[in-house]
Structure 1
Amino acid sequence: MSSLKNELKNGSGRRLIKRRLDDGVFYYVLSDGSGTSSFLDDWLNDPRSRGKAKRLLSTVQKITTNGLEWATAARRIRRISPELYEIKNFSGAARVMAHIRTVEAIVILRPFQGHSGTGSVPATLIASATRQQRLVVELLEQEEYDGD
């Protein structure tokens, strides 16, 4: 199940795509510029990436079920800044940036390749994710205002 949230007036074309997992847990994915799909759709539609996508969704479900403390202790997530997290350990060096205000509203922002054992995420990637996070906050506020 998925639904598209209203586009912002800034004309970015980005939207929040709301999806439901099997147990009724919801999560969001920030769309690409088309506003209709995301990198996660690409992963799910590609036989070579489908397993990675399913493991990511399983990790999101576990974070939602068990909470941020568990996810941090289990090394599934790492906090980058307030409400900006790196979700990891779902498929080798693959990682995603996510906005997590509450575990009931995880927003998957963008994928990236791991950081080769350096223990840090490149500053340019964090800056880009922070810009996306601002957009997500506006979209989530719009959703709350719209009552959806």
Structure 2
Amino acid sequence: MTGIEQRQTIFETRLKKAGLRMTQQRRLILSVLAQADDHPDAKGIFTRAFAHDPTLSLSTVYRTMKLLETQGAIERHAFEDGVSRYEHADQQHHDHLIDVESGQVVEFSSPEIEDLQRRIAAELGYELVRHRLELYGRRIETGKRRSPG
């Protein structure tokens, strides 16, 4: 079973567990979402699914996304642009860098940042239970890039 098929199965299981019927439109939305390798918003999911079923409504997409979020199958991110974007909840922890000009969302992981966050929390008398890091930036022109550190 591929990763996409596994995600779709997880999505379907979560909706059935919530007592919902698995309609063709819901199955299509789940398929589009399972195949997404970006951070689509509801309108983006709708556009991709609508190409396969022009009877689909945007409200069906919104309801389905809300249900998946409630069931813990997806995570909703509200970046600075105010648009809710979604990603699969089955991913390893990672952070996000958002391009302020294009809106592109770049995922990254940094053991150093994770360690620093845990240390800061501990110094303040806390144990981290969850966190989210969002960086906002503008692409540096090729000739002006500096190496990190």
TM-score of the aligned structures, taking structure 2 as reference length: 0.27
- The structure that has the greater radius of gyration is 2
More helix by share: 2
